[in-house]
Structure 1
Amino acid sequence: MSRGFVKEGDQEETPIIPPRAALPNGATNYVTPTGMQLLLNERKQLEQERATLPTKHEQQRRIELAVINGKLDLLNERIASARVLEPNQQPKNEVRFGATVTYKISTSTSAQTFQIVGVDEADVAKQKIAFVAPLAVALTGNNVGDILQFKLGKEIREIEILNIIYK
């Protein structure tokens, strides 16, 4: 039967599935071992949510299942494309993926520290930024003591790398 002959109240709206963190086209999906474990834990949680979804109104249940399945599809794509890089196997004297970097911006009085991680693991509140973030890109390949120019809006600031640690 054509959708044109369905009562208006019976029509279901297509649920909106929130996108995952952006990964530029053509970029390899690097993840730390911790990041991969977080992705696998998230999948386990979504699968458990799907299996224990309480039976409610049938239409509501179909919508909730569609959202969970959509999230699982996006997550499984991300897991399948993940390339795990061990931070402790990176060159110790150079900023690379997985590095915890301490740096100082010339206009600041204090140093800042963050770890360069995969896009799904990035969380500024936990001092983790994605390897595709402009600051991470600018620092990658540099060494302790290097001073580099970083464009921040219309300003150019100097950044000095103070320390590099791989955990």
Structure 2
Amino acid sequence: MSSQIPMTRVGHERLQEELKNLIRVERPRVVEQIAEARSHGDLSENAEYDAAKDRQAFIEGRIQELNDKIARAQVIDPSKLSGDKVVFGATVTLFDAETDTEVTYQIVGEDEADIKDGKISVTSPVGKALIGHSLDDEVRIKVPSGLRVYEITDIRYE
């Protein structure tokens, strides 16, 4: 797994903040919880100890995962991009003629995707379908409810 992971500057900063919190706050907290649970005696039937050890394993695994992602990050600043094609980081407005609605998405990395915030992953079906298209293009996207046709009405890099 040595391939680069595209992400926006904001997404990169969020991963770094999560890593910092795990190392500086969560890791010491769980070590204290383990010590306290250990002081209660018999570890074979100590649910607090087992829960703290499970939490510690999760934290250590997440720290490794974040270190890996940060090391492989290809940070892309959408405000420095331009052009007439949809690329990673673009904010795209789509018009759905069938429902007469407009929707706007920013195409981001997998760890940044949040549909409620209008951010979709570059690896999602919609993200993949939009990449490389231009303004006014009709894009056919296969979704669980069937085939949807969208028109790209705006492409911004912000």
Indicate the TM-score class for this superposition, using the shorter chain for normalisation.
Answer: 0.7 to 0.9
> What corresponds to 1:4 in structure 2?
none
Deviations 1:57-91 (A, max 9, x none): 13344333222111111111111111111212323
Please give the alpha-carbon distance, in whole angstroms, between the structure 2 residues aligned to 1:152 and 1:67: 34
Q: Which runs of 4+ in 1 moved over 6 A?
A: none
TM-score, normalised relative to structure 1: 0.77
1:164 counterpart SS class: strand
| Structure 2 unaligned spans of 5+ | 39-48
1:122 maps onto 2:99 in alignment = no
Superposition pairs of residues 40-51 of structure 1, within 5 angstroms: 40-47=16-23, 48-51=25-28
1:52 maps onto 2:29 in alignment = yes
> What corresponds to 2:103 in structure 1?
112
Superposition pairs of residues 33-112 of structure 1, within 5 angstroms: 33-47=9-23, 48-53=25-30, 54-55=32-33, 56-58=36-38, 59-60=49-50, 61-112=52-103
Identity %: 33
Please give the alpha-carbon distance, in whole angstroms, between the structure 1 residues aligned to 2:122 and 2:37: 44
The one-letter code of the counterpart of 2:19 is R
Gap change, CA 1:163 and 1:148, over 3 Å in 2: same
> What corresponds to 2:133 in structure 1?
142
> What corresponds to 1:158 in structure 2?
149
Aligned residue pairs total: 143
TM-score, normalised relative to structure 2: 0.81
| Structure 1 unaligned spans of 5+ | 1-24
2:94 counterpart SS class: strand
Report the aligned-residue RMSD. Answer: 2.0
Please give the alpha-carbon distance, in whole angstroms, between the structure 1 residues aligned to 2:11 and 2:138: 30
Deviations 1:80-113 (A, max 9, x none): 1111112123233221111111001231211000
